[in-house]
Amino acid sequence: MAKYLVQKSNPLSGEVEISGAKNAVLPIMAAALLSEEECTLFDVPALRDVDVLTQLLTHIGAVIKKADTNTLNIYTPKINTYEAPFELVKKMRASFLVAGPLLARTGHARVYMPGGCTIGARPVELHLKGFQAMGAEIINNEIKSFVEMSCDRLQGASIYLDFPSVGATENIMMAAVLAEGTTIIENAAEEPEIVDLANFLNKMGARVKGAGTETIKIEGVEKLGGCKHGIIPDRIETGTFMVAAAITRGEILIKNAVPDHVKAITAKLIECGVVVEKTDEGLLVKGNVNPLVSTNIKTMPYPGFPTDIQSPFMALLTTVEGSSVVIENIFENRFMHVAELNRMGANIKIDGRSAIIYGGRPLQGAQVISTDLRAGAAMVLAGLVAEGTTEIAEIYHIERGYENFVEKFRKLGATIIRIDD
Ligand code: EPZ
């Protein structure tokens, strides 16, 4: 299995270009199943997850061509099967996002349950609640662990989400755009990726209003056409490089970052003493102006502090004097990186959904693993400031979600190489 070797590096400096957002392109690719006409997607990040979803959509009937590294042409003249097979769904839980489009276009969907992952059980009952409210009959076959749904034509409905689930909001939106009548989603997720999906659907001829707020209204239409759409920059990649500037006490210009999408991360970095300046090219982040201090983090649905930056930020907090408290409110098991950071000499105690970081002790290089996509990035950040060499295994997690990860860090002065066993 491939590994990263990371060595203590000088403060990072220079500029980095942010790629298209993984968590925007995945639902948008699924939404392309809703039209027989061609959709062209620009700024698509070259990621393992995009490749996996390409395989699944092709299996279903989509014709997908890479016009270039970051441009996809997708059209689905007809749906060959309404089944998302286990061997594809198991590779990526976001595959469950084909359920809504399949139900909307064919009146049928059989999707294997994505199953949990290291950060949590990842149930989908909120997705199913929305589909049922719209008239779908759910056959939840526990034995075969797939969900089968059918419906002649979905009917508009009013749906309240017990939790502002990103995936459930997206799946219900994609089901509702071709339903008969109007659907209202209350307590909807407000993430920028929801807005990007809504913009894409509206370019196809859908009528989605209110995306980015807690109430989204979708008026069903008969048919959707093709369109051209550029994927928004990845706010989590942006946050990762913002924290990289802070932890290495460096200075990085993060080009084409969207400041509005990283307000919570910016506020917390400023609380730690990091300088963040908006420029016409993006965000200039300086970890080398003030001595950095501790702060407390509470992950919340957008626009609160994003759970996906919790582990990178925790790596930073191990390097500042004083104690910090991190509370993880989104996923029930997203502290797997704590044990790995403690192996590097950090002093972090877990108490339920809280982690207390006693910062300031220098980190030591060690053999660690990447326990999820973002925790892997956190281990790289820790390795950049730890004495000696840090060897990071299971880096496939990282390469699922960060385009040209090693190249981007090396260009900023990081000492990191990828080795294949
Ligand atoms: C999306 O996952 C992202 N993935 C995640 O990013 C991100 O961490 C998460 O949103 C929260 O922001 C993609 O967009 C592909 P949720 P999603 O449904 O949609 C519970 C990354 O690193 N829940 O908002 O699965 C769930 O268990 C990944 O890029 C239910 O209980 O997130 C979790 O505790 C990791 N029932 C919480 O809600 C449901 O039916 C948030 O889940 C659905 C969700």
For the CA of 127, the nearest atom of ligand 1: 40
- Tally of CB atoms within 10 A around 356: 15
Note if the pTM is more than 0.85.
yes
Q: Are residues 258 and 232 in contact, defined by beta-carbon separation less than 8 angstroms?
A: yes
CA 321 / ligand 1 centre spacing (Å)? 32
- Report whether residue 120 contacts ligand 1, using a CB cutoff of 6 Å: yes
- Report whether residue 162 contacts ligand 1, using a CB cutoff of 6 Å: no
Question: For each of the chain's 421 residues, which pLDDT tens digit applies?
Answer: 899 999 999 999 999 999 999 999 999 999 999 999 999 999 999 999 999 999 999 999 999 999 999 999 999 999 999 999 888 888 888 999 999 999 999 999 999 887 656 777 778 899 999 999 999 998 866 666 888 999 989 999 999 999 999 999 999 999 999 999 999 999 999 999 999 999 999 999 999 999 999 999 999 999 999 999 999 999 999 999 999 999 999 999 999 999 999 999 999 999 999 999 999 999 999 999 999 999 999 999 999 999 999 999 999 999 999 999 999 999 999 999 999 999 999 999 999 999 999 999 999 999 999 999 999 999 999 999 999 999 999 999 999 999 999 999 999 999 999 999 7
C-alpha 99, offset from chain centre: 19
**Calpha distance 146→110 (Å, rounded):** 7
Helix 99-106 to helix 22-31 angle, to the nearest 10 degrees? Answer: 20
Tell which residue, 366, 361, 301, has the closest CA to residue 337: 366
Residue nearest to atom 19 of ligand 1 (CA): 167
Q: Are residues 8 and 32 in contact, defined by beta-carbon separation less than 8 angstroms?
A: no
**What is the predicted pLDDT for the residue at 141?**
62
Residue nearest to atom 28 of ligand 1 (CA): 308
**What is the predicted pLDDT for the residue at 88?**
86
CA 345 / ligand 1 centre spacing (Å)? 31
**Calpha distance 186→169 (Å, rounded):** 9
Q: Are residues 117 and 93 in contact, defined by beta-carbon separation less than 8 angstroms?
A: yes
Q: Are residues 127 and 114 in contact, defined by beta-carbon separation less than 8 angstroms?
A: no
* Residue the block writes with tokens 């877990």: 350
CA dihedral (71, 100, 53, 67) in degrees, to 10, reads -20
